[in-house]
Amino acid sequence: MGLFEKLKNGLAKTKNSMMGRIEALLHSFTKIDEDLFEELEETLILCDIGVNTSVKICDLLRERVKKEGVKDPEAIKDLLKEVITDMLGEDQPLDMSTTPSVILVIGVNGVGKTTTIGKLANSLHNEGKKVIVAAADTFRAAAIDQLEVWTQRAGVDIIKHNEGSDPASVVFDAMQAAKARNADVVICDTAGRLHNKKNLMDELKKISRIVHQQAEGCALEVLLALDATTGQNAVNQAKQFNEAADITGIILTKLDGTAKGGIIISITDDLKVPVKLVTVGEQIDDLQPFVARDFVEALFE
């Protein structure tokens, strides 16, 4: 099955819920008026697109309808597709421009962070890259053990210390190993607790400092893993983490298990942080780069 088919299958619940509501609404109107826009705005909010983003979408639609002289409510669907595509903007792939490149993965427990790191390691390994994974979530022994299982499945190296060790020391050893083994990518798991923002920021700064000391000028991605099934709660989590860390991208997990995939639009618009990767299943190869145009096509076709 190709990437687009996997994405399309993964978005089936979102498409059935979101587009079903929108199409039913448009069918119920014979003309385009303010009542239609108000109901559409409410429908978008119910589809987990968020209040601010839903209002913005409807404002842009009003402009397009007026500018193009559109009269038929059915035509709103095509305009909506264009507006959402524009809102999602250009795709931003992972920055793998240096050797090594470093990826820090952050996020609260339960979002599928450790599993996703395993999938990412597998994907990069299959691209021919030499990958080292740093088990720097040292607060939970289970996280270290789980990551070890995934790295074995992916066929990549892992650097780990005992539970309770200093996370930064694990990252230091991983960076040393990356240089010694000429690795292409270092992926660092981090503690899945928000603690308080100061602790989180201090820990990430320390890890980031070690990364730059050990590989000056290296490409560094800070990816926040979010669970798509939590809808707007995921957006709120992202806002908190974004205040504490310089997030470069989002990994949206469990997209196949939810009707709330519309939060991708909200995240991109509200936070101005790109969604870079999505998971659309539980298998090791069910992680893929986020392609905005494919996302919109899968929703609207």
**Average pLDDT of span 210-233:** 90
Model pLDDT, residue 297:
92
Tens-digit pLDDT profile for residues 34-52: 999 999 999 999 988 989 9
Reading the block at residue 280, the tokens are 């659309």
Cβ 147 vs Cβ 135: under 8 Å: yes
Model pLDDT, residue 196:
61
CATH assignment at residue 137: 3.40.50.300
Asked whether residue 173 falls in the same domain as residue 120, the answer is: yes
**Average pLDDT of span 266-282:** 91
Tens-digit pLDDT profile for residues 69-119: 999 999 999 999 999 999 999 999 999 999 999 999 998 888 989 999 999
DSSP code at position 130: -
Asked whether residue 73 falls in the same domain as residue 121, the answer is: no
**Distance (Å, rounded) from C-alpha 144 to C-alpha 129?**
22
**Average pLDDT of span 125-138:** 96
Q: Is the predicted pLDDT of residue 57 greater than 90, yes or no? A: yes
Reading the block at residue 19, the tokens are 């587009």
Model pLDDT, residue 282:
86
- Report the relative pairing of strands 275-279 and 157-159 from DSSP bridges: unpaired
Burial (0-12, 13-18, 19+ Cβ within 10 Å), 130: middle
CATH assignment at residue 10: 1.20.120.140
Tens-digit pLDDT profile for residues 225-273: 999 988 888 888 888 888 777 899 999 999 888 888 888 999 999 888 9
Answer with the residue of higher pLDDT: 230 or 155: 155
Q: Tell me, yes or no, whether 297 lies in a domain.
A: no
Model pLDDT, residue 87:
93
Cis peptide before 289 (omega within 30 of 0): no
Q: Tell me, yes or no, whether 11 lies in a domain.
A: yes
Annotate 23-64 with DSSP letters as a single string.
HHHHHT-SS--HHHHHHHHHHHHHTT--HHHHHHHHHHHHHH
Which of 88, 113, 145 is the last residue in one of the domains? 88
Model pLDDT, residue 195:
52
Burial code (b: 16+ CB inside 10 Å, e: under 16) for 220-242 equals bbbbbbbbbbbbbebbebbeebb
Which of 88, 116, 147 is the last residue in one of the domains? 88
Number of domains present in the structure of the chain:
2
Asked whether residue 15 falls in the same domain as residue 158, the answer is: no
Asked whether residue 213 falls in the same domain as residue 250, the answer is: yes
Q: What are phi and psi of 257, to 5 degrees?
A: -105, 20
- Please report, as a single letter, which amino acid is at residue 16: N
**Distance (Å, rounded) from C-alpha 13 to C-alpha 188?**
32
Of the candidates 91, 101, 145, the residue with the CA atom closest to the CA atom of residue 124: 101
Q: Tell me, yes or no, whether 298 lies in a domain.
A: no
Burial code (b: 16+ CB inside 10 Å, e: under 16) for 142-156 equals ebbebbeebbeebeb
**Average pLDDT of span 160-178:** 94
Q: Tell me, yes or no, whether 210 lies in a domain.
A: yes
**Average pLDDT of span 151-172:** 95
Q: Is the predicted pLDDT of residue 1 greater than 70, yes or no? A: no
Q: Tell me, yes or no, whether 235 lies in a domain.
A: yes
Of the candidates 155, 108, 158, the residue with the CA atom closest to the CA atom of residue 134: 158
Asked whether residue 226 falls in the same domain as residue 285, the answer is: yes
Domain containing 143 equals 101-292
Q: How far apart are the first and last CA of the chain?
A: 18
